[in-house]
Amino acid sequence: MASNPGMTPDQIALIKATVPVLVQHGNTITTVFYRNMLAAHPELNTVFNTSDQVNGRQPRALAGALYAYASHIDDLGALSSAVELICNKHASLYIKADDYNIVGKYLLEAMGEVLGAALTPEIHDAWGAAYWQLANIMIGREKQLYEHAEGWTDWRDFKIVNKVKESEEITSFYLAPVDEKPLPAFKPGQYISIQTEVPTLKYPQARQYSLSDEPKPDYYRISVKRELGLNSAAASAATNPGYISNVLHDTRNIGDTIKVSHPYGDFFLSPADSETGNPIVLISAGVGVTPLTSMLNTLVSKSLESRKLHFIHGARSEGLRAFKKHISELSKQHPSIQTTFFTSHPSEGEKEGVDYDHAGRVDLSKLKDQDLFLDDAKTDYYICGPGMFMTDIESALKAKGVGADRIKMELFGTGGVPH
């Protein structure tokens, strides 16, 4: 990223000086910001994830981003991967350059509302300059992403052409473009956003879903877990099942149309892993299996017979595990593909060593070092699952000497992987 010609050295110093203020008040500022902005622009309720507003995840994610930005204002390169993640998410939601005017206005106003007289005119101006410096970086990156989309720069109508139950709680949707034009390839691991009406909200909502099959010219496949809300820490969650996953499971059927974005995302099989025979370990839990199944299917379709690949998956029970038959069959057909299935809450009759390999959650200490290909420094590790699951696996791999650059993770949520 370029340095910051738009800001004076004094302004940079002022921004750094406000880092402790952001630690203390960042979340209040972003909460006030969203409240005021969505009240003045109710049309943006369609753009933002209503549940992430209610549960506070999006205000926390924005506060975290502003804190990281202020802390690294003199070292913007440190923010590249965070910016890449956000810009891909923005592009998948078709955020436009003009939208940054609205966000900038309400963000600075929220700072004034929360900080009062402490927001001196100098600090206000420094944050105004800082906001636009970051906004311009993001607008620039998003422009590039839209330019690479070969004309697909807004929501596109897709028809559900097949709906297949993959487990007790995961169902796949096969989506074909209504215009029947060939689909662009994506990088295995990437996601699409889908947008559809939510009757209880009376406006549409968008969510991201990883593409769960290899790239095909005529359809995309997503595999959606029904979110019952029972596992949420929030007391009210049991009465708040997820909006879109339940709408999709219950009311979107073959023949129905939904809106779909171009594929985006910064979590994907690296070109080196695609093209060469580097060993790969794919580690997932629950519905985190989806992007890794796309990677597996793509690698198999390239018939890279000699590549060492280990697919490790954790599920609560066999009934809740999606794609097991498919993955096991691939492993039988391709001896270089190993599988290990962990089951944390086996159903009655499910036996260790028969229906699954190990009881309990995914635990790398139950595997031999050679089965994690630790002897090969080119091995890459792709992880997808709940936040704490990923940080645990990441720590276990690092403890075994794997460098951070060889560990890639995708969080099915907002705010990045917890550290």
Ligand X SMILES: Cc1cc2nc3c(=O)[nH]c(=O)nc-3n(C[C@H](O)[C@H](O)[C@H](O)COP(=O)(O)OP(=O)(O)OC[C@H]3O[C@@H](n4cnc5c(N)ncnc54)[C@H](O)[C@@H]3O)c2cc1C
Residue closest to 212 by CA, chosen among 266, 174, 163, 257: 174
Residue 93 or 322 with smaller CB distance to ligand HEM = 93
Residue 86 contact partner, candidates ligand X, ligand HEM, none, CB within 5 to 8 A by sort of partner: ligand HEM
Catalytic residue among 34, 142, 227, 243: 142
Neighbours of 43 (CB within 10 A): 8
| Alpha carbon separation from 198 to 76, 148, 250 (Å, rounded) | 39, 31, 12
List of residues 6+ apart from 128 with CB closer than 8 A: 104, 108
Question: If binding is defined by CB under 6 A, does position 126 make contact with ligand HEM?
Answer: no
Report the alpha-carbon distance of residue 162 to residue 176 in Å, rounded. 9
Report the alpha-carbon distance of residue 26 to residue 319 in Å, rounded. 43
Touching ligand HEM, residues 11-70 (CB under 6 A): 44, 47-49, 52, 58, 61-62, 65
Residue 48 contact partner, candidates ligand HEM, ligand X, none, CB within 5 to 8 A by sort of partner: ligand HEM
Residue 16 or 163 with smaller CB distance to ligand HEM = 16
Residue 189 contact partner, candidates ligand HEM, ligand X, none, CB within 5 to 8 A by sort of partner: none
Report the alpha-carbon distance of residue 263 to residue 190 in Å, rounded. 6
Residue 210 contact partner, candidates ligand HEM, ligand X, none, CB within 5 to 8 A by sort of partner: ligand X
For residues 201 to 220, the per-residue mask of contacts with ligand X, x marking binding by CB under 6 A and - elsewhere, is: ------xxxx----------
Residue 393 contact partner, candidates ligand X, ligand HEM, none, CB within 5 to 8 A by sort of partner: none
Catalytic residue among 100, 174, 191, 220: 100
Least distance CB 205 / ligand X (angstroms): 6
Q: Judged by CB under 6 A, how many residues of this single chain contact ligand HEM?
A: 24
Touching ligand X, residues 40-79 (CB under 6 A): 49, 51, 54-55
Q: Of residues 22, 134, 289, 309, which one binds ligand HEM by CB under 6 A?
A: 134
List of residues 6+ apart from 276 with CB closer than 8 A: 378
Question: If binding is defined by CB under 6 A, does position 293 make contact with ligand X?
Answer: no
Residue 223 contact partner, candidates ligand X, ligand HEM, none, CB within 5 to 8 A by sort of partner: ligand X
Residue closest to 92 by CA, chosen among 246, 207, 188: 207
Residue 225 or 313 with smaller CB distance to ligand HEM = 225
Question: If binding is defined by CB under 6 A, does position 282 make contact with ligand HEM?
Answer: no
Report the alpha-carbon distance of residue 216 to residue 194 in Å, rounded. 18
Neighbours of 169 (CB within 10 A): 19
| Alpha carbon separation from 126 to 16, 20, 77, 190, 257 (Å, rounded) | 10, 16, 20, 36, 46
Active site annotation includes 100: yes
DSSP 358: E
Residue 135 contact partner, candidates ligand X, ligand HEM, none, CB within 5 to 8 A by sort of partner: ligand HEM
Report the alpha-carbon distance of residue 333 to residue 301 in Å, rounded. 12
Touching ligand X, residues 245-274 (CB under 6 A): 245-246, 265
Residue 139 or 337 with smaller CB distance to ligand HEM = 139
Please, are residues 344 and 371 in contact by the beta-carbon 8 Å criterion?
Answer: no
| Alpha carbon separation from 416 to 48, 53, 70, 75 (Å, rounded) | 17, 16, 18, 20
Active site annotation includes 142: yes
Q: Of residues 135, 149, 201, 228, which one binds ligand HEM by CB under 6 A?
A: 135
DSSP code per residue over 335-355: TTEEEEEEESSPPTT--BTTT
Which residue of this chain has its Cβ atom nearest to ligand X in the complex? 242
Report the alpha-carbon distance of residue 155 to residue 173 in Å, rounded. 18
Q: Which residues bind ligand X (CB under 6 A)?
A: 49, 51, 54-55, 191, 207-210, 222-225, 227, 229, 232, 234, 236-237, 240-246, 265, 287, 290, 410, 412-413
Which residues are known catalytic residues? 100, 142
Binding site for ligand HEM (CB under 6 A): 44, 47-49, 52, 58, 61-62, 65, 85-86, 89-90, 93, 95, 99-100, 103, 134-135, 138, 414-416
